[in-house]
Structure 1
């Protein structure tokens, strides 16, 4: 059975008519993000066996990641603009089911084109789910606890970032890459069942269509925030994409230390997400400035003194704290500034993220090839620093 959810007039109270266990419903959304992002990262740990099985190069197999990203850039805003005012519970479940179908297609595909199509479906599911998650969660918990609720949802991103690649590589070595994707599909089915039992009926009153999306983008207060987000994410990924070559140039670095440094980044990223939820609910302005400054300071420090092992360890932890806080920070800000535009704003956040990731990776690559990795990290720090400046001027309520 399900119940109807409506928006409560009191922002400190739980929405009226919500399910008996709203926080469990939020957890199932976090599980959805976990399965989606894990599926997104899996090819990175399985490129070599996939390429060998299909008789293609590793670079060509890497387009499996590209297909997901390109589809994701378009999918978030398109889904938000085209959705009728139907029960969002059904939409979230349908997007989870689409991710299951994507993994099954990839696991069984005999050729690269079919695999690319399956990965594009994942991009649609991931971007649509993430774009709508803020709006759905806002109808499950009180407004004053929305930041903490989004921390739970975005924990799925943090866990997938830490675990997806090593777990995928481990299982791929023992069961084969196709079995790994089938396993991801099975986890998706379990998540789907949990969502069906936990999520209440969720109705929305926000208008859909292209006009609300454009109106949101044209709103100066929101547009400024999206500019800050674009600068921050571009800077972050201009550096993060090339973290491995940076670390390879550190004196005394070996395989064991490399694993420790990467694990430290993952743990710090998880902690940053948790902290962002609590601080965002109480001190949003401080969070909006501190997060990009952390990314700016750490990437610039690596560009200046990245040959020192001591500097690397400290700055990578600071970087992880900042980078891990970004999703919860920006979603909490959107909910505070434009609570009536959570779906259109969520779609634009996803598009900004995906586009900026691609731009950051491309910019970093150009700088690494033309100059060196140190300059790429310095430019990344400059971009994130400009993001901090922009965020210092945005509205927070």
Structure 2
């Protein structure tokens, strides 16, 4: 694969900066915990703010809406700013958001705090893969991505069950307050660990439109949207399902969410260990397996044991999906990683937004089972579109990949 447009940055980054990668992993953990904490606290937040569960679920969709805007604008708005300080600013914005959410006197202030979080989410994720590609040598990119998304596994493993448990003991506001000192430490770590990352070639909307004209990238973008849309149509409303269908108490709910989260470590470990060369055959696995697990919950979710097994498998794929798709992006759009990252994050956040909106409408208008069936339909569409994954590969590199599967 050619690296002509973005040559190795040997002068600025002569060796792998694993400390910086770890600081980004902590950012991922805090972003995921902050963004999806309302999932584990949906019921008490709705009661405390005088809103329905479907309305409170929009606290996730509003962050997604602003994340879409930020992801599309960040590479242009940041211009020639050093990417290190852009990431520091995004972390500071996350800290402000958490303070607003924790102190929110009403639903409107809560939504403002969540909107600010969305700006942080969009800005960070749009730049994250491109930054990782500069922090480590090309051959270490999949491992570095897996390490960074290990932060997602940590958040999924502990944030939801701890949030659910502590929310019952000390209240949902105290749970959000508890995240603020960790984000403050992460802010300092960024300043210390991240090397200087001067902006390279400035990328604007013309670069993004140019990427959308590439059939393999556009198809992959749509497939990714369907995959994430399926995941978060289900995940946003998981607590109402476990409470209403499985009959889970707060303790059982916390155990089930812990099983889901801990399985995420398996997903990231497997990606870091086995993701080599051509990623095409793996692209359909997340949608296929997560959709099957959601369907299994619809039919067998009344059993806590069955629910736990399905959620564990779902959780492993929930972390693997990010590593798999971002590795695909790094391999197939390496000449414009920031623009590609912006479009990928915009697509994913749009899917999360629509998943939360549609899922909430189905929940309030029909039933939780209808929400989960909607998730299964989206997963099936993603699986069919991806096929064997070959159409999602850069046509200029297909021959090379066929000859050299040890490219990474």
TM-score exceeds 0.5? yes
Asked if 1:192 is matched to 2:190, the reply is no
Distance in 1 separating the partners of 2:359 and 2:172: 30
SS of equivalent to 1:201: coil
Match of 2:122 among 122, 127, 131: 127
Distance in 1 separating the partners of 2:52 and 2:362: 23
- Which deviations, in whole Å up to 9, do the C-alpha atoms of 1:215-252 show, x marking residues without a partner? 22232111000111111112222333343454456678
Match of 2:335 among 333, 340, 343: 340
Is the CA contact (8 Å cut-off) linking 2:164 and 2:254 kept in structure 1? no
Asked if 1:32 is matched to 2:32, the reply is no
> 2:404 maps to which residue?
none
Match of 1:324 among 301, 319, 326: 319
> 2:260 maps to which residue?
265
Distance in 2 separating the partners of 1:139 and 1:283: 21
> 1:157 maps to which residue?
152
Q: CA 1:365/1:40 → structure 2, altered by over 3 Å: closer, same or farther?
A: closer
Asked if 1:221 is matched to 2:219, the reply is no
> 2:400 maps to which residue?
none
Match of 2:392 among 387, 394, 397: 394
Q: CA 1:7/1:279 → structure 2, altered by over 3 Å: closer, same or farther?
A: farther
Q: CA 1:113/1:252 → structure 2, altered by over 3 Å: closer, same or farther?
A: closer
Q: TM-score, normalised by structure 2?
A: 0.82
Q: CA 1:61/1:268 → structure 2, altered by over 3 Å: closer, same or farther?
A: closer
Match of 1:77 among 72, 78, 81: 72
Is the CA contact (8 Å cut-off) linking 2:157 and 2:259 kept in structure 1? no
> 2:13 maps to which residue?
18
Distance in 2 separating the partners of 1:27 and 1:98: 20
Distance in 1 separating the partners of 2:207 and 2:45: 42
Is the CA contact (8 Å cut-off) linking 1:144 and 1:281 kept in structure 2? no
233-242 vs 141-150, which moves further: 233-242
Structure 2 unaligned spans of 5+: 398-408
Match of 1:143 among 138, 145, 161: 138
Distance in 1 separating the partners of 2:121 and 2:357: 22
SS of equivalent to 1:139: helix
Give 1:371 shift: 5.6
Q: CA 1:217/1:34 → structure 2, altered by over 3 Å: closer, same or farther?
A: same
SS of equivalent to 2:130: helix
> 1:3 maps to which residue?
none
- Which deviations, in whole Å up to 9, do the C-alpha atoms of 1:32-81 show, x marking residues without a partner? 1222222223445566776777x744656665444322211211111123
Distance in 2 separating the partners of 1:253 and 1:186: 31
> 1:96 maps to which residue?
91
Structure 1 unaligned spans of 5+: 1-5
Q: CA 1:241/1:193 → structure 2, altered by over 3 Å: closer, same or farther?
A: closer
189-198 vs 379-388, which moves further: 379-388
Distance in 2 separating the partners of 1:331 and 1:157: 14
Give 1:334 shift: 0.3
Give 1:373 shift: 4.3
> 1:300 maps to which residue?
295
